[in-house]
Chains A and B, each alone.
Chain A
Amino acid sequence: MAKLAIHADRGASEDFRFPAHAIDGLAGTSFKHQHITSILEDQAAERGFFEVHAENYMGEGGPPHAALARIRADYPVSLHGVCMSIGGPQPLDKAHLGRFARLIERYEPALVSEHLAWSTHETTYYNDLLPLPYTEATLQRVADHIDEVQETIGRPILIENPSTYLLFRESTMSETAFIRELVGRTGCGLLLDVNNVFVSATNHGFSALDYLADYPLEHVCEIHLAGHTEQEDDEGDLLLIDSHDGPVADAVWTLFDIVIGRCGPLPTLIEWDSAIPDWPVLKAEAIAAQAILDRHAGALLRGKSHARG
């Protein structure tokens, strides 16, 4: 933290803008404060971006804002909301939405995203990404919530597909149909979490490739990759947990390669939120993702030049 300083003279009312760093085709990582010294020392000509959980920066000031402002000066930042409870039936928390909008105004993130999930019911916050049934009624409610968020923040938001462990008997449509319809009704973009696809496919016995074939890939603006852990369900079969506590699994890398082959190089985040390793380990995952992105970017360029030739 030695390199951080508070700029008390830069009031919130001043028109203090960060540089507009491009995020296209870059691999990034979750931003963890214990890494900031390593990141700043590692700065020489590094490509990449950082993603932060919006709620961690909803305090008034202090080290979180000093760290984010420092990182934002040098890198593109993706702002990832975790607890807007967009997937819940009750009205969105206006105070929380206001805080979210102010963060976007303050840090001008390259990407803004939230989850297809709920976490608050009545006044209790459950601190988990809880699942919802996929029905016409929930579709309309979630679409209304996305509209409200997008109107408040004045830009499109990316919605992330969840990892789920159970299904609702009342669901009448597939997750991919639900997400496709959300995009159609709200104009939102998508954050495709490839690990979540793999986790849900394993847990519910469907093919991840079939899911991706049904998924509106043309609306994806960001990719998430993360590690998962293994448990067993009631029948003793494999149940995967979206734990974000280890390296990306080989099967997920393979799916990622397929997705980027179809979509082209999209901003791709390595999520690692617990059992956080030293910076070089996390960075190595991002370098592996960047290599895949660059390989497809090269192929795309060659394809275009062939097409012109």
Chain B
Amino acid sequence: MRAARDALCATADDLGYPERLVPALLDPGRATPTVVAGPMGKAADKRFDIYRNNVTVSLIDALAAAFPATMRITGETFFRAMARFYVRETPPTSPLLFEYGRDLPAFIERYEYAQSMPWLADVARIERAWLDAYHAADAPVLSPHALTSFPADALADTVFETHPSAHVVRSAYPAVTIFSVNRDSGPVGRIEAREPESALITRPALDVEVRRLPPGADVFLGNLLSAEPLGSAAAAASAHCPEFDLATAIAVMLEAGAFAAVR
């Protein structure tokens, strides 16, 4: 009995290596785990640091690749320092790195050194939605003429099926303009926009498209994306924003390919 129990314990112990390594992997303040060593009695500090470095730097690199406009706004040094804090606080929980960084916009909102850039989190939200649109399922988009065949009295009850790539990001800042000028490598001039801008992100074919929505259309589209009928979505948008123009909003969403079907 004793021998069997010892054997079981020994087995469990043999399989405990991740517990011994992971606390120090994301915390450079911790000592090198004692279960590891260099060869022939050599130390393992610099050796362990290679794994530490690989983990943190590769995750920062993944964020830098996913949020290029955000990084261009902050500068690389600022972004990588911020990302390092984020990685240590919120390491990924999925092996799919294109899923990583969903909480980065919320992290940016409370990150002490980003308080002077209140629009930065919304730019990051647009970039996160961009990446989701990029990897979204392929689907045909609703034809721009799909609504012309509908009888006028049935339009109010129409419900749209969202295209897999479609996302709306609402912002109190000119987030779309800031995103657009920083996403490309061209020169960034003075940004004159002051008005709130909400973004529609879609991928009708292979290229992700980011549009500024006309006033009130963010509420309208947000409602449609939640499967509200067209009539009540339009009423909600008009109530929220007197300048809301239904015809323009419909034209924009059909052009963008925000919907896959109508019923």
| Binary interface encoding of chain A residues 138-172 relative to chain B, with 1 for a CB under 8 A from any of its CBs, else 0 | 10010000000000000000000000011111100
User: With the chains together, A165 CA to B49 CA distance in Å?
Assistant: 9
Verify B96–A166 contact, CB threshold 8 A.
no
User: CB distance A234 to B44 under 8 Å?
Assistant: yes
Q: Which of B21, B44, B62, B164 contacts A127 (CB 8 A)?
A: B62
Whether B40 lies near A168 (C-beta < 8 A) is no
Q: Does B3 contact A (CB under 8 A)?
A: no
Which of A83, A132, A204, A234 has the most CB atoms of chain B within a 10 A radius of its CB?
A234
Known contacts A138-B14, A168-B36, A241-B50; is A121 also within 8 Å of B137 by CB? no
Question: Of B16, B43, B203, which one neighbours A234 at CB under 8 angstroms?
Answer: B43
Q: When chains A and B are docked, how far (Å) is the Cα of A203 from the Cα of B48?
A: 12
Residues of A within 8 A of B59 (CB): 127
Nearest-neighbour CB distance to chain A for B6, whole angstroms, equals 13
Question: Which residues in chain B, 9-38, are within 8 Å of chain A measured between CB atoms?
Answer: 10-11, 14-19, 21-22, 25, 34-38
User: Is there an interface contact between B136 and A61, defined as CB atoms closer than 8 Å?
Assistant: yes
Is B15's CB under 8 angstroms from A165's CB? Answer: no
Across the interface, name the chain A residue whose C-beta is closest to B140.
A8
- Closest Cβ–Cβ distance, residue B74 to chain A (whole Å): 22
A48 vs B44: C-alpha distance when bound (angstroms) = 40
B51 at the interface (CB under 8 A from A): yes
The residue among B15, B25, B37, B139 with the most chain A CB atoms within 10 A of its own CB is B15
> A128 in the interface, Cβ–Cβ < 8 Å?
yes
For A137, list chain B residues within 8 Å (CB).
10-11, 14-15
B214-227 interface code vs A (CB 8 A; 1 in, 0 out):
00000000000000
In angstroms, Cα B205 to Cα A4, docked, is 10
Given known pairs A60-B135, A233-B47, the reply for A128 and B95 (CB within 8 Å) is no
Interface 0/1 of A44-56, CB less than 8 Å to B: 0000000000011
* Interface bits B177-216 vs A (CB < 8 Å: 1, else 0): 0000000000000000000000000010111000000000
Binds A, one of B86-94, B142-150, B245-253: B86-94
- By a CB distance below 8 angstroms, the chain A residues around B94 are 125
Which interface class (under 10, 10 to 19, 20 to 34, 35 or more) fits A?
A: 35 or more
**Could you tell me the distance between the alpha carbons of A89 and B22 in the complex, rounded to whole angstroms?**
13
Whether A61 lies near B51 (C-beta < 8 A) is no
Minimum CB–CB distance from B16 to chain A (whole Å) comes to: 8
Contact of B46 with A167 in the complex, beta carbons under 8 Å: no
- Bound state CA distance, A218 and B164, in angstroms? 47
| Contacting residues, chain A, for B14 (C-beta < 8 A) | 133, 135-138, 170
Q: Indicate if B54 sits at the interface (CB-CB under 8 A).
A: yes
Contacting pair B47 A166 (CB below 8 A): yes
- A77-102: CB near B (< 8 Å → 1, else 0) gives 00000110100111001001000000
Q: Mark A198-214, 1 if CB is under 8 A from B, else 0.
A: 00000111100000000
Closest to A8 in B: B140
Q: Nearest Cβ in chain A — how far from B59, in angstroms?
A: 6
Using an 8 Å CB-CB cutoff, how does the interface string of A221-235 with B read, 1 for contact, 0 for none?
000000000011111
7 shortest interchain CB distances as A-B pairs: A59-B135, A137-B14, A60-B137, A61-B138, A83-B95, A89-B15, A234-B43
A residues touching B (Cβ–Cβ < 8 Å)?
Answer: 1, 4-6, 8, 55-56, 58-66, 82-83, 85, 88-90, 93, 96, 118-121, 123-128, 130-133, 135-138, 141, 165-170, 203-206, 231-235, 237, 239, 241
